[in-house]
Structure 1
Amino acid sequence: MRKINLIIKRLIDFFGSLLGLIILSPILIIIAILIKATSKGPVFFKQERLGKNGKVFKIIKFRTMVVNAEKIGSGLFLKSENDNRITKIGKFLRATSLDELPQLINVLLGQMSLVGPRPPVPYHPYKYEDYNEFQRKRFLMKPGMTGLAQVKVRNSVSWDERIRYDVEYIEKFNILFDFSILFKTFLKVVKPESIYLQDNAQK
């Protein structure tokens, strides 16, 4: 049954991301223009992330911070929405999660799924080989644009605590569970809330 669910999941990912890119193309174009008009640098931000079984891929997002932001100030950490490295349009994009929309390309390419654990960078907070046996379960499925941890706690708890939600998702996975998470994600986008933890705001 799980295998059938995984096949259905990939079909939904492919056609869902393709349809999403087509329908949302006007919004994507407007966002791209606003980013280019309000700050120097590229429209997209690409960064290496850990995918299924620890395989590295480049995630695609709309750029919400100044160029080379990870090398300025507190690096990967964002302690609040008032971080001066976040651009004016970037603050809105992050609050509404619209910066995540280009990841539909990652989903279309089969590197990500619509639902799954969020992919961390390869070197923080751990390297793949440093995750223990329990924690590595989160890498048994493709990373997602949204996930159980995103709708439950987002970045309001530590990375280790979020992993428990990721593993819970892996163990409970089925298509209906995915649809439930997608619906809750929609509600989160409609009603934005704080996404920051004082000492850990990796997104």
Structure 2
Amino acid sequence: MVMSKKMLDTLVGFAQAVTNLLVLVGTYWAVFAIRAALGHPYGTANRLAVEAVFPYLAAFYVVLWLVYRLPAYYETATYEGVLSQVFVQLILALASLATSFVVRAFAFPRGLVATAFVLQVTALVPLNYALCRFYSRVRPKALTIAIGTGAAAGSTLAKQLSISTAYVVSSMSARDVTGEWIHGVPEGASLTLDASVPSPERDRILRLAMRNGITVQLVATVKETLVQKAPMKVRADHLMLTVEPYGHSPVDLALKRMLDIAASVVALTVFSPVFLLASIAIMLEDGRPVFYLQQRLGFRGQFFRIIKFRTMCHDAERLTGARLSKGELDSRITRAGRLLRRTGLDEVPQFIDVLRGDMSVVGPRPERPELAQKILEETPDWNLRLLVRPGITGVAQVLGRYNTAPEDKLTMDLAYIRSRSLFNYDLTIILNTLKMFFMPERRD
């Protein structure tokens, strides 16, 4: 029996997780050994405290490991994979201090945390990098055929998919997909249908593929995103999908709001020095005002004023009008503003909008009314993003890029809106957003 790629990935991921946990154990006991060798051994109470805390840390590590997609390390860019590993170990170090307090293991050595963190990063970054790069070479690559409305569209999609080390891609036009052709698709290969393929053609190709046992990947359209996870029921002998505009429970919404408030209070406290330093830098270079208030579209189309550190010169849009920034090449951005943008710190004041209830920490990014109107002309369903409060970060910001097409951003945001639990999704996105401070190319 030939093992499927999914099963193989699961087994390799499990082996990697077990190896990582063994390394974690090893780093803690290595710190004990180093202390003993230096003549300052930890006592029995310290050892017992570590043993009391470690089971909680092991469970939390597995959660972080999945959230940061370390099992799929071989599918990410090297820098992003390394950054994910460092963040996992940093969060784990902070969690160990909190856990020791909660379980009243007060003899848990504080010095052990910093030393173990260094050892873990030193050991796990090269280990997981080597394991995943090796696996990316020996892992059977999935063959998929990118299908577009025409040969050119299929070729474009194929080039985009070829960036991933997990795929070997060819391409073709939807009109060339016939019953005769589909019999010749190699065993184990899949089809990937571009979102531009018209619905009747998508349905025809999907039926052909299902009859012949071929897996199909759909580049999601708005309609397909809206019906995801829709509850099914039978009425008058018809199987019906119930698509609600916004179907989250009051409990989930209350938990999301509590998370918003807690995250905002923590963020504003942690970044309070940034407020002082950024204010001084902006005033020294370009004078007042420090903050920039801009009208944005909020929940259900209501207007609100977003608060940001001012990163452009005075009257930046007096001559050009409202337009998207060109990133580093935009001459309107000040030197202080360029630094704030590259680090993402210009967004910090928006936590005030979250506390006021105009925004959420996680949600679709709010657009300016003028720009939203332009986007609506090409993407008529764009305003479906307004079914939830806009956010400081979101799925499109974590998984996409600054220049990701509006249609793709829309489907990403709708996937978030249609999720069963916004609270759980928010936690995942917040943890992954922390990496974005060190990945300015994903925001530009």
Could you tell me the TM-score, scaled by structure 1's length? Answer: 0.87
Contact 2:375 2:382 in 1 (8 A): no
Question: What CA distance in whole angstroms lies between the structure 2 residues aligned with 1:155 and 1:74?
Answer: 20
Q: Would you say 1:33 and 2:280 are equivalent positions?
A: yes
AA aligned to 2:289 is P
> For residues 75 and 49 of structure 1, what CA distance do their matches in structure 2 show?
12
Q: Percent of aligned pairs with the same residue? A: 38
Match of 2:298 among 28, 48, 51: 51
In the alignment, the residues of structure 1 paired with residue 272 and residue 290 of structure 2 have an alpha-carbon distance, to the nearest angstrom, of: 14
Aligned residues of 2:322 and 2:371 also touching (Cα < 8 A): no
Where do residues 62-141 of structure 1 align in structure 2 (5 Å cutoff)? 62-73=309-320, 75-126=322-373, 132=380, 134-141=381-388
Is the contact made by 1:153 and 1:162 (CA closer than 8 Å) also made in structure 2? Answer: yes
Q: 1:18-57: per-residue Cα shift (whole Å, max 9, x none)?
A: 2321232122111111111111331001000000000000
Which is helix-richer, 1 or 2? 2
42 and 163 in structure 1: CA distance in 2 versus 1, 3 angstrom threshold: same
Mapped contact 2:282–2:310 kept (Cα < 8 A): yes
Larger radius of gyration: 2
Q: Does 1:144 align with 2:426?
A: no
> What residue in structure 2 maps to residue 188 of structure 1?
436
Question: 1:73 offset after TM fit, Å?
Answer: 4.1
Does the residue aligned with 1:123 lie in a helix, a strand or coil?
Answer: helix
Number of residue equivalences = 195
TM-score by length of 2: 0.41
Per chain length, whose mean CA-contact separation is higher, i.e. which structure has more relative contact order (CA < 8 Å, sep 6+)?
1
> In 2, distance between residues paired with 1:194 and 1:13?
24
- Residue 263 of structure 2 corresponds to 16
Distance 2:327 2:358 in 1: 30
Partner of 1:200: none
CA shift for structure 1 position 194: 4.9
- Return the offset for 1:68: 1.8
180 and 28 in structure 1: CA distance in 2 versus 1, 3 angstrom threshold:
same
Question: Aligned Cα RMSD in Å?
Answer: 2.1
Match of 1:3 among 231, 250, 256: 250
Residue aligning to 2:70: none
Residue equivalent to 2:185: none
1:158 paired with 2:433, answer no
Shift of residue 70 of structure 1?
2.0
The 1:159/1:69 distance shift into structure 2, 3 A limit, reads farther
Give deviations 1:3-32, integer Å, cap 9, x for gaps. Answer: 211110101112221232123212211111
> For structure 1, which segment, 178-187 or 56-65, has the greater mean C-alpha deviation from structure 2 after superposition?
178-187
Contact 2:307 2:352 in 1 (8 A): yes
Query: For residues 194 and 69 of structure 1, what CA distance do their matches in structure 2 show?
Result: 24
Structure 2: gaps spanning 5 or more residues: 1-247
Contact 2:312 2:332 in 1 (8 A): yes
Look up the SS of the partner of 2:339 in the other structure.
helix
Cα 1:124–1:151, aligned 2, differ >3 Å: closer, same or farther?
Answer: same
The 8 Å contact of residues 45 and 62 in structure 1, kept in 2 or not, is answered as yes
> Any idea what the Cα deviations from partners look like across 1:51-78, whole Å, max 9, x if unmatched?
0000000000000011121223474222
Any unmatched runs of 5+ in structure 1?
A: 197-203
